[in-house]
Homo-oligomer: A and B are copies of this chain.
């Protein structure tokens, strides 16, 4: 049956969710979303609630997770909590060990806009860069803060390592923006010619 092979070919996001469960705790969809926002977010995008819920259903159907309803003592609405199965542990371990390394996916909106520099005033290019710089510094700080919370716990050693990586990554993003600000300034003053007027609406040629 094709089903057997499909189990091994889940999208990366499924593995990310199963990875969250692989630390062993029994968690609800809501818990997973919150945790995802505080960890995966730094190097992988954090899926929406609805996608986490549907990934959980898929994982359960594949036999990689099991769930049960939990009645809240205070009369709160019941919730469904998930736990990874033995099959799930085997599968996610195999995935992490044996899947070919594929390149990261980057969609860098700010760079896309700077690539269209012929449509911008130099001040607007700088504005984009400064805002990105601030974003990067903020992310860096949050990575440091989260790493602080995760240290001294042996089981968080590898998550802590990736937070360390994230700290450096966002420091680099910040510095890259600064370097590009310099380059824009140099282009503006130095080698005059291109873009000195800033506004170049006649690029469409013959018209």
Please give the residue numbers on chain A whose beta carbons come within 8 Å of chain B beta carbons, in ascending order: 12, 15-16, 19, 22-25, 39-40, 43-45, 83-84, 89, 92-93, 96-97, 99, 101-121, 124, 127-128, 131-132, 135, 139, 151, 154-155, 157-162, 164-165, 167-169, 171-173, 175-176, 179-180, 183-184, 187, 192-195, 197, 200-201, 203-205
Whether A115 contacts B155 by the Cβ 8 Å rule is no
Whether A104 contacts B107 by the Cβ 8 Å rule is yes
Determine the chain B residues whose CB is within 8 A of the CB of A97 once the complex forms: 119-121, 124
Determine the chain B residues whose CB is within 8 A of the CB of A43 once the complex forms: 106, 108, 111-112, 115
Whether A117 contacts B44 by the Cβ 8 Å rule is no
Complex CA distance for A179 and B100, rounded to whole angstroms: 22
Whether B117 contacts A161 by the Cβ 8 Å rule is yes
Whether B200 contacts A171 by the Cβ 8 Å rule is yes
| Nearest neighbor of A192 in chain B, beta-carbon distance | B157
A60 CB to closest chain B CB (Å) equals 16
